[in-house]
Amino acid sequence: MSKLMKEYIEEAEKDLLHTYNRYQIVLDHGNGVHLYDTDEKEYLDFAAGIAVFALGYRNKKYNDALKDQIDKLIHTSNYYYNVPAIDAAKKFKKASGMDRVFFTNSGAEAIEGAIKTAKKYAFLKDGKKDHEIIAMDHSFHGRTYGALSVTGNPKYREAFEPMIGNIRFAKMNDIESVKANITDKTCAIIFETVQGEGGIYPAEITFIKEVEKLCRQKDILLILDEIQCGMGRSGKMFAFEHYGVKPDIVTSAKALGCGVPVGAFAMTEKVGAHSLCAGDHGSTYGGNPLACRAVSTVFDLFSEMGILGNVNKLTPYLEGKLDALKDEFPVITKRRGLGFMQGLEFSKPVGPVINKALEKGLIIINAGTNILRFVPPLVITKDDIDKMYAILSECIKETY
């Protein structure tokens, strides 16, 4: 580490609130699927800013679109219409099959909006204020109070309790557990189509279909969190498309803006017409021209660059390489995932492997203490997968 990088890190530790245990590098710029630190060391990126930079770094058309928008209009507030928001909403609706969209600044805010929508929908039906939401154990939906309230990991909640209340937790992929938690107060069931932070657990097809069936029978809203697993990561624009189901509300963020902070929650016309109305929800920055120009451009580039095709073409190859690691090293017990959202479960903590990989120029992250998470840019190639495999294999050999 150079003297300059060390000085940057020391300054950060003095000035920034210590809510992250950061890796000891200072990233400076990126190009394609590689990142570079302030010492110009190159890293193959298999984290994509936690599933954000789907298009890779320094995409000229993306960057040029944002530069153009900066010169035209960055912000106006939601007192007025703006063309990028109209374009982005139209493209989001087409991709998701939803009918009404609200743009937020983050995934957590999208979850907050989804919760409020479900509560208002139920309130307008019966005028009661004690409705319940069913969430899943080991889920992760964000750090704000509403999102934290439906996050099924007590360690994230305990220091900040009481939460918003009337939340019940069921077991992911256990339909009987869901049924046991349904009452006449249940207004919504929320879960990630593929659990991310909880360990890369895709919903099982029988489970998600049975939950959808229950929701239709009882007029309970199905909220699917696609903040991490959506926007092409699964091989379809939204992961729920693999299952032949349709949520009442879907949340999105991360790759939606490919680096610009933006999220969204969207709903069917039925929910939109019988829930939030003027004055119920808002956001000063939400849906501003710059963020929405990013969203609109991302949808255009996904189509132009054949992003879904690349994910579907290379998923079997990526899975094969990860399976080869599992077969080679007894410390790896399982592989699971969907598309370019994969996890390797270890019988030991993976922190040492992540640190060693970083030393050798590979960026990977964890999902829990013993799971390596692979969420690379969606533009990776076969050669990138081979390079990742070679580095990771070497790191595992040297660690365990």
CATH number of the domain encompassing residue 335: 3.90.1150.10
Task: Identify whether residues 24 and 122 lie together within a single domain.
Answer: no
Peptide bond preceding 162: is omega within 30 degrees of 0, i.e. cis? yes
Residue 65 lies in a domain: no
Residues 94 and 309: their CA atoms lie apart, in Å, by 18
Domain count, the chain: 2
Q: What is the pTM of this model?
A: 0.97
Regarding whether 274 and 144 lie in a shared domain, the answer is: yes
Contact yes or no for 254/377 (Cβ under 8 A): no
179 and 286 inside one domain: yes
Distance CA 305, CA 123 (A): 44
Range of the domain at 393: 3-59+306-399
Domain boundary among 305, 340, 358: 305
Residue 313 CA to residue 328 CA, distance in Å, equals 24
Residue that has been written with the tokens 């660059």 in this structure: 305
Are 160 and 298 contained in the same domain?
yes
**CA 52/CA 253 separation, integer angstroms:** 8
Q: Which two tokens stand for residue 16?
A: 């920034």
Q: What is the pLDDT along the chain (400 residues), one digit of tens a residue?
A: 899 999 999 999 999 999 999 999 999 999 999 999 999 999 999 999 999 999 999 999 999 999 999 999 999 999 999 999 999 999 999 999 999 999 999 999 999 999 999 999 999 999 999 999 999 999 999 999 999 999 999 999 999 999 999 999 999 999 999 999 999 999 999 999 999 999 999 999 999 999 999 999 999 999 999 999 999 999 999 999 999 999 999 999 999 999 999 999 999 999 999 999 999 999 999 999 999 999 999 999 999 999 999 999 999 999 999 999 999 999 999 999 999 999 999 999 999 999 999 999 999 999 999 999 999 999 999 999 999 999 999 999 999 9
Question: Residue 68: inside a domain, yes or no?
Answer: no
Helices (H), 73-204: 83-96, 107-126, 145-149, 154-157, 175-181
Q: What are the tokens at 377?
A: 């840019």
Residues 291 and 336 in one domain: no
**Domain identity same for 227 and 294:** yes
**CA contacts within 13 A on the Cβ side of 298:** 31
CB-based burial label for 360 (10 Å; 0-12, 13-18, 19+): middle
3-class SS shares of the chain: helix, strand, coil, % to 5? 45, 20, 35
> Distance between CA atoms of 272 and 114, rounded to whole angstroms?
11
Looking at 254, 275, 305, the residue that finishes a domain is 305
